[in-house]
Structure formats: structure tokens, C-alpha cells
A = this chain, B = another copy of it.
Amino acid sequence: MSQAISIFDTTLRDGTQGEGISLSADDKLKIALKLDELGVHYIEGGNPGSNSKDIEFFQRVQKLGLSAKITAFGSTRRKHSVAEQDASLLRIAESGVQAATLVGKSWDFHVHTALGTTLEENLSMIFDSIAFLKQRGLEAIFDAEHFFDGFKHNPDYAVAVLRRAREAGADWLVMCDTNGGTMPAEISDIVSRIRSEIDAPLGIHTHNDCELAVANTLAAVAAGATQVQGTINGYGERCGNANLCSILPSLELKLGYSAIGRDRLRLLTPTARYISEIANVSMPVGQPYVGNAAFAHKGGIHVSAILKDSKTYEHIEPDLVGNKQRILVSELAGQSNVISKAQEMGLDVTSNNDNTRAIMERIKDLEHQGYQFEAADASLELLLRDAFGGLDEVFAVESFKILLEKTSHGMVTEAIVKLRVGQESVYTAAEGNGPVNALDNALRKALLPFYPRINDIHLADYKVRVLDEKDATAAKVRVLIESSDLSSSWNTVGVSGNVIEASWEALLDSIRYALLGMARLESHSGEDALRMRAGVVNH
């Protein structure tokens, strides 16, 4: 039997310390549901002592009947006070959680500088606070803040802190690399020494300030820690916390531990992407295991080898973590990338020929202008189908106009479009709360009588990237649009010196793609979008 590792997720608490991350109580509930599905053992929901939003979360999460233990976070009692009267500890006890994490100082420097008290009083604060939680029937997890820095400066005191927490009844002693500056060899050494000196379940909590949070976590586990604290996508203050999305697959697939189990590991990629949507933080395209490019292949030689055997350039099967392989089309790509992409689309392209070379040239030329097909599969598919298959035109645009006016009374935006659909000419206008929205509304209004299913299509995301910052607002912009219908999602691109023209181009590609029936059912992100729209929390 492989050794079990307990997974403690703190996305909802330490993760929200990350720059640009802010979660409502609703957001937190949605994320808690997903974390529970993924199979983490502890979900730290927040700090009921400091935040009324978190109190609401703790009340509502109880009704969801999750398997994971919900935990609340707080600090040890204030100096020279009584735990039973500490407002923050009382709120934890009243929050209805099964477990609580208490953070206490273990670095003598911090006791003096930040707390401004004596080493002995700090030990009493820890003892009293843990003892109080145990009296109230809670599982008590002790997070020893700055443990590794503390140990390096004053090992006796750092060990004394852990011992005192354990004497008070702490169920877990968690060693924190709060400032994220410790090297893996030090982690390994210090955890091993604690393991041999203290008989208690140990945990590890690391930060990524040296890009070593994952390595430090794995080093601590190898040295005997059996609880791992981290966040989804590594969210957290400064450089983030240890990234569970990288730790879980390495524990399960590489190192022989059992954490959430291999079956649930397949939920990892959709969970990471869902939470990044809720947190409204875009995922780095190259995020290990779960990123969109984690199994993407660009170099022509790599692609040829991958087509022979995926193992040549993939360290695991992407499916094991719910991700998938992608072949990128770009200037570095050989023709094998284009052929493989076209074959993926079911086009009958079997070998290099003039057509393939011509379309490669066209793609290179467009990429030179600023188009990027790596993130716009649907625009690429339209391009390839035009070249290899021939596509019917669904409508043609004759002209459009936009009028915006801002006065002291507010803002008005109107769009006027003139289209030809089959033999008919359509001329219509619509308002919107922005120029792209007005255009989108006018276009839909014009096409609806001919294509009623246009009502099912939504624009899910809209991104603008300035291509040459040096020329400021006069620079070229690239617009990427993600669209979805009830069952799938697709991405299109437009490039122009004018943001409206670039948006219009991506909008047209998006609608053409859908009306030509090219939106496919199996898209993962489409399913996610659907789940999001359907909503997962009842309240």
C-alpha cells in the first residue's frame, strides 16, 4: 500500500492574499464544491475573526454536505489575554467548522519584532489557544509560521514551539516556510530532524519566492511530512503558495504516494481551469500539468516524433490529469504540424503538396501581421477548410457604422450594419453598452431571421492585446474572442490598427464558424462554460 498524504487546500484563505484575487462568498462556495469533488481532505475557508464575508461562507458551506473537512483560520490569542475571551478564537469556535488552523510564531525574531512580547508569553499564547480549540471539540492544526527561518536562527526555540503546541493537543504540527526563502536541502534536513525528535503528524506549508515551493513540499514529504498545504494554481501572496496542481500528480504518478487517488486526478485540469475562471485570473499557458500548453508541441521535429509515439516528448499521458495534447501551428512548425492539425479536423490531407505549402505561407504571412492561431483554433480551422475543403459563404458584409456620444447625461452607443444574406439585403441598427456589443447586437438582429440558432451563441470572453506598445493607442491590436453555445466553445482572432475592426473580424469568424456547423460537441472548455452557466450552488 502506498503511503497516504493528507491534502489541505487553502485556496480560499491564503490563496486570496494573492495580488488581484478577490472572492465573494458565492465564489468561495462554488470553489469549495469543486475542491470537494477533486477529493482534497481539508478546505480552509477563511478567517472568521477578520472578515464578515467568511462568516457567511462558513454558515452556508455547512448546508452543502461536503466530504472534506471545512477549516477556519486564525491566530493565537492576543498577548497577555485569555483564550476563552479572545474574540477571534470565539468566532472560530462558533463558525461551525470541524477543524481549525491556528498560526503561531516560531521565529524568536518575529516574537520580539512583530508581536512585541517575550518568548515565554508566545509559548503560552500557543498553548492556551490550541487547548481552547481542543476543549471546544475541534481538530487543531498548528501552523508554525516562519518555522524554517526560526529553526535556522534558534533551533531550540523553534522545537519548543512545536512541542508546546503538541502538549496542548494539536493534531498536526505544520512547518511553514512563510517567506519562501528556504532551499530544498535545508527543508529536507530540518524536517528529518523534527521527525526524529517529535512524535506527531507533521505537515508542510511552503511559498514560492524562490520558485521552489513544489520541490520544498516534495522534499518535506520525502522526509516524513504527511500533510501538504497548498492552493490551486499556486495562488497566494507575493509569488504564491505551493501549487497543488503540480504537487498532486507528482505525488500520485511519480513518487508512489496516495493523495486524492488516481481516478480523481483526472479532474485536476478542469478544476484548475474552473477555479481560474471564478478567481478571474488567467492561467499561465505553460502551467505544468494543467496548462493549455503543458502538452503542446510546436517544433517540427518534435511534432514528427510525437506523431510516431507520444512518449517521445511527453512525460505522462495528458489524460491522466484531464489535459490533452495540442499541436501548435506557427512559424517554427514544419508542414507536419499543419497536416496533423488538418487531419485532426477530419480534412483529407495526407502528404505535402502545393496546397499545404501555399497555406503554410499564408499562415506565416498572417502571423507576421500579428495573427496568432495557437489561441484561435476556430479561425485556423476556417482558414484550413477554405484552403483544403472549400466553404460556403453564409453572409457578406457591405458596411457598418458606429456612433458614440458621451454627454453629462451619460453615454449612447449605436451600430448600423448592412449585410447581404443569400439574395437578400439586410440593413439594421442596434444599441449596445459599448461599440463591440452594439455591433454584436446589430449583427445578431440582422441574422436572426435567417439563422434562429444564433440565439444560442454567446461571447464568453473577449481579450485585447496591443501588439506594439511603443506606438501606444495607434498600435496594432489583436482581439481574441471565445464563443460558446450550449455544448462547446471556440476561439477566433482579428488583427487591425483599429480595435473595432479587429473585434469585428473576430466576431465574424466566430459567427461564421458556428453557422457553418463547425462548433464541436467534445470541447472541454465548452463543458466547463456550460457547468458555470448552469450554476452549481443553490441559495
Contact = CB atoms under 8 A, between A and B. Distances in A.
Interface of A: 16-20, 22, 51, 75, 109-110, 113-114, 178-181, 183-185, 208-212, 214-216, 218-219, 222, 234, 236-240, 243, 246, 249-250, 254-255, 277, 280, 284-289, 291-299, 301-302, 304-305, 308-309, 311-316, 328, 330-332, 367, 372, 374-375, 398-408, 411, 413, 432-437, 440, 458-467, 469-470, 472-475, 477, 482, 496-501, 504, 532-533
A433 B474 contact: yes
8 contacts: A238-B286, A400-B406, A402-B435, A404-B435, A432-B474, A458-B472, A463-B464, A499-B499
A9 to B, nearest CB: 17
A432 B212 contact: no
Main SS of chain A's interface residues?
mixed
Contact of A477 (B254, B434, B500, B532): B434
A181 B315 contact: yes
Contacts of A305: 110, 113-114
Given A209-B289, A210-B254, 20 more contacts: A19-B292, A19-B328, A113-B309, A180-B288, A208-B288, A209-B294, A210-B315, A212-B214, A212-B218, A212-B246, A237-B296, A238-B294, A284-B284, A399-B408, A400-B405, A434-B477, A434-B498, A434-B499, A462-B464, A470-B533
A321 B411 CA distance: 47
Contacts of A402: 402-405, 435
A467 B280 CA distance: 7
A464 B467 contact: no
B459 A473 contact: yes
A293 B19 contact: yes
Contact of A113 (B109, B208, B312): B312
Given A179-B314, A406-B504, A472 B466 contact: no
Contacts of A292: 19
